[in-house]
Structure 1
Amino acid sequence: MFRATSRLHTVCQAARSTLALRPVKYAPAYKAVSLTMFNTSRLYATSGSTKVVPLTAEKYPGFNRNEQFKKLEDSDVDHFKAIVGETGLIYNNEDDLAAFNTDWMNKYRGQSQLVLKPKTTQQVADILKYCTEQSIAVVPQGGNTGLVGGSIPVFDEVVLSLQSMNSIRSFDDVSGILTADAGCILEGLDNWLNEKGYMMPLDLGAKGSCHIGGNLATNAGGLRLLRYGSLHGTVLGLEVVLPDGSILDSMSTLRKDNTGYDLKQLFIGSEGTIGVITGVSILTPRRPKAVNVALLGLNTYEDVQKAFKQSRSELSEILSAFEFWDNNALQIYKKHSDAKPLMENEYPFYVLIETSGSNKDHDDEKLTNYLENMMVDEVAQDGVVAQDETQIKNIWGVREGFTEALGKEAAVYKYDVSMPVNKINDCLEDMRQHLKDGGVFGQPDSPIIDVVGYGHVGDGNLHLNIAANRVDKRVPALIEPYLFEWVAKQNGSISAEHGLGVAKNQFLSYSKSDGMIKMMKTMKNLLDPKGVLNPYKYLPSQ
């Protein structure tokens, strides 16, 4: 692994000898996994907690069960059993239901007594039709890797799990268009495509457990949105079951179709509140032949911005990711990881740069020139470049390890916001000062350990995390709605990619106007007049 020191020898010598890159031909460093993988134990292991999770309904005192929703009766269970079979449901078994009632961060817990696991779109349709007729509330659930409680019941809603719908329907190796069931694991799809020279346009830290349907329902962003764009652009068609049991089949494989309303866009990011996604048609890019990953240490956030601006100019078409984190994030990661340091010295900020292309020599030269300029201009103080697949995995492992590390703290308050790139560090600094002023940070007995920042500079997405050594009621009261007000003043979004769920729905007005919220409620009432799909979430209750 290359290490560039702050002064090196001479710029020329540093750039042409020490910066001798050996880009690797891209191939996963992991074995292919089954598309049916659903590793609940893995999800729970990341939290590092064995405490009893409080009920969501108790945690948010303003919630009251909608008495218009029917409570399950034996006749309802018998009806569902006739649809999905004896093995297609879990009923009144607390141990087996626990994984579906609790999120992986041990933050939300519901009270569902029934999980349904349909295997076909028609079974989903039959279930939703009956639930609407009987006014039975339903929570669609994918891999259950969300962070805002969107896939967890609040009360006794029936859980509709898509994990058994996990087949690849077709793949066109000329156009790269994949059609698949919504319950396919993201990493499984990516491994399957790898054998054909393609890849999924989406990459997440939770890729080993999250479902593609859940990714669509939450409009997940991920690590390479900078290169491949959002799901609103890569998804060509959807199959969606509406609350009344109607199947909306828009599984188009056309790149261009200029006829009528683009209805699929309604369901991308709707969090299962107006329909259940059961199938997807998505455009997959060719897998790059050469991938390089570099990590730089920088002294200021201004240097982070300079590095990003220059990467857009000098790396342009081969730039596939530009991630950043602060030293606080690194310290949390080191605390809960035995991984060896990637650099001898520590710096206030770090950026991870990934390039991917089809010409090794071309990519080598562009990245070498870029890194040389970063050192000459004293933007970067230190750096490493991965020399093989293992080192690529090690560098990415730091970036992808922050969520798991933070989950091992006694308490963590997680926020996912977007704003102009030049405001990201201002947000972190302002929150630190605000918590100090509030008396919960900076004193010997303070509950707050520190404010941690990392995220996707390329799309202005900050993951702001506040790590604490204990739960303290003063902390959330200081954060909310202060943070959302701050973000709103920057014309930002209170949720960049995690969604709204039960955590942020009441704060939607900080990102959307009254007119837009009214229109959203109109759409919800039109498609789900009884409100049975994912109630108590997404939209403000008042």
Structure 2
Amino acid sequence: MIKSISFLISNVRINVFSQAKYSTTFLPQFSSEKYDVKRKQFGVLKSTDIEYFKSLLSEDRVLTEESDVLPFNIDWIKNCRGQSQLVLKPKTTEEVSRILSYCNDKRLAVCPQGGNTGLVGGSVPVFDEIVLNFALMNKIISLDEISGALVCEAGCVLENLDNYVRDHNLIMPLDLGAKGSCQIGGNISTNAGGLRLLRYGNLHGSVLGLEAVKADGTVVNCLRTLKKDNTGYHLKHLFIGSEGTLGVVTKVAINCPVLPKAVSLGYFGRNVVLGYLGKLVAEDGPKNINENI
């Protein structure tokens, strides 16, 4: 009997381990096949293109190996999968400008990617687009402790920024569940909301300025930190929420509120709700519950 039980347990362990291994190696279906999307008339990546990017960046910032490119082809929930063969990791706005200018001339499709934490597949390619990853553009440029104006590059991780400004008695105006890996450029490009939206408003009110690069390589410099800026067109609002369709955000100026001195937390548990409903039934009867809720 003991031997049969131990044999059963060992079989269960083997099945669990095999399922876990299968789940980690599982690859989703190609998005183009899953959603029946047709590729448009873009150029095809050639070896000469790869050599140009290596001369512009460096070999360690140009990923071509299938195993290296695969994580950038799959979204966070493993629902979408692209077919990109190349990942570029620029460090400066100038490099982004030259990359996009070259791709525009060669009609090479580009997929800008931040922390790749999106849940709708918008951060991964559909076909063989070149992935433009901003993980290395992660410098904090300046912080005005008086006005709360923070200037940083688009690849800065949200949690790192929040920790940085907290040391100066400030707080980031947005907070997300993916704050440990999402990037501020992606937050702005998707107009992310999060837990602090009701208190501090959306990013259209928090972003003071930004810098972006259009598809032809033109740099749009709206990187101002003045809270009340009435000069010219407010082009920054066009890029907030545009998801890279108008240009790629490279730098951000954002207003950081003062860190609250106290935090109030409310917890509404299941037992509390059931107890409240039970009290209503006891006092008013089941027919009058809907009137009291």
Question: In structure 1, which of residues 296, 305, 309 is the aligned counterpart of residue 268 of structure 2?
Answer: 296
Look up the match of 1:280: 252
Q: Which one of 60, 65, 71 corresponds to residue 39 of structure 2?
A: 65
Secondary structure of 1:291 counterpart: coil
Corresponding residue for residue 82 of structure 1: 55
The separation in 2 between residues aligned to 1:156 and 1:164, in whole angstroms, is 22
Report how far residue 273 of structure 1 moved. 1.1
Structure 2 distance, partners of 1:142, 1:116, is: 12
Q: How many aligned positions are there?
A: 257
SS at 2:100 equivalent: helix
Amino acid at match of 2:253: S
Show CA shifts across 1:462-501 (max 9, x none): xxxxxxxxxxxxxxxxxxxxxxxxxxxxxxxxxxxxxxxx
Q: Any idea what the Cα deviations from partners look like across 1:39-97, whole Å, max 9, x if unmatched?
A: xxxxxx9xx65422111011001x1111x211110100011111111111101x11111
Which runs of structure 1 show a deviation greater than 6 angstroms over 4 or more consecutive aligned residues?
A: none
Match of 1:254 among 223, 226, 236: 226
Q: Which residue of 2 aligns with 1:241?
A: 213
Structure 2 equivalent of residue 220 of structure 1: 192
Contact map agreement 1:49 1:106 (CA 8 A) in 2: no
SS class of match (1:139): strand
User: For residues 253 and 51 of structure 1, what CA distance do their matches in structure 2 show?
Assistant: 46
Match of 2:26 in 1: 51
* Residue aligned with 2:268, SS: strand
Q: How much has 1:118 moved relative to structure 2?
A: 0.2
TM-score normalised to the size of structure 1?
0.46
Q: Is the 8 A contact 1:97 1:114 kept in 2?
A: yes
CA–CA distance in structure 2, aligned partners of residues 100 and 273 of structure 1: 19
Superposition deviation, residue 290 in structure 1: 1.1
Equivalent-residue separation in structure 2 for 1:74 and 1:269 (angstroms): 34
User: Following the alignment from structure 1 to structure 2, what is the Cα–Cα distance between the partners of residues 110 and 347?
Assistant: 45
Matched, 1:210 2:182: yes
Cα distance in 2 for residues equivalent to 1:160 and 1:110: 14
Report the Cα distance in structure 2 between the residues aligned to 1:87 and 1:347, rounded to whole angstroms: 56
- Of the candidates 143, 158, 161, which is equivalent to residue 189 of structure 1? 161
- The letter of the residue matching 2:133 is S
Work out the CA distance in 1 between the residues paired with 2:94 and 2:191.
24
What is the CA–CA distance in structure 1 between the aligned matches of 2:232 and 2:168, rounded to whole Å?
34
Q: Distance in 2 between matches of 1:138 and 1:195?
A: 37
**Taking CA–CA contacts closer than 8 Å with sequence separation of 6 or more, which of the two structures ends up with the larger relative contact order?**
1
Question: Which amino acid letter does the alignment assign opposite residue 184 of structure 2?
Answer: I
5+ residue gaps, structure 2: 1-19, 281-293
- Which position in structure 2 is the counterpart of 1:106? 78
Say which SS state the counterpart of residue 164 (structure 2) adopts: helix
Matches of 2:116 and 2:211, distance apart in 1: 20
RMSD across aligned C-alpha pairs, in angstroms?
1.8
Question: Are 1:169 and 1:179, in contact at CA under 8 Å, matched by a contact in 2?
Answer: yes
Q: Return the offset for 1:347.
A: 4.1
Match of 1:158 in 2: 130
Aligned-partner Cα distance in 2 for 1:259–1:112: 41
Question: TM-score scaled by structure 2?
Answer: 0.84
What pairs up with 1:110-509 in 2 under 5 angstroms?
110-297=82-269, 345=271, 347=273
Q: Distance in 1 between matches of 2:272 and 2:87?
A: 48
Q: Percent identical across equivalent pairs?
A: 55
- Which residues of structure 1 form unaligned runs of 5+? 1-44, 298-342, 349-374, 380-542
Residue 109 of structure 1 and its aligned partner are, at CA, apart by 0.3
Q: Which of 255-264 and 211-220 deviates more?
A: 255-264
CA distance in 2, matches of 1:276, 1:65: 22
- Aligned-partner Cα distance in 2 for 1:194–1:249: 28
Would the aligned equivalents of 1:84 and 1:123 in 2 still touch at CA under 8 Å?
yes
3-state secondary structure, aligned to 1:290: coil
Distance 1:227 1:50 in 2: 42
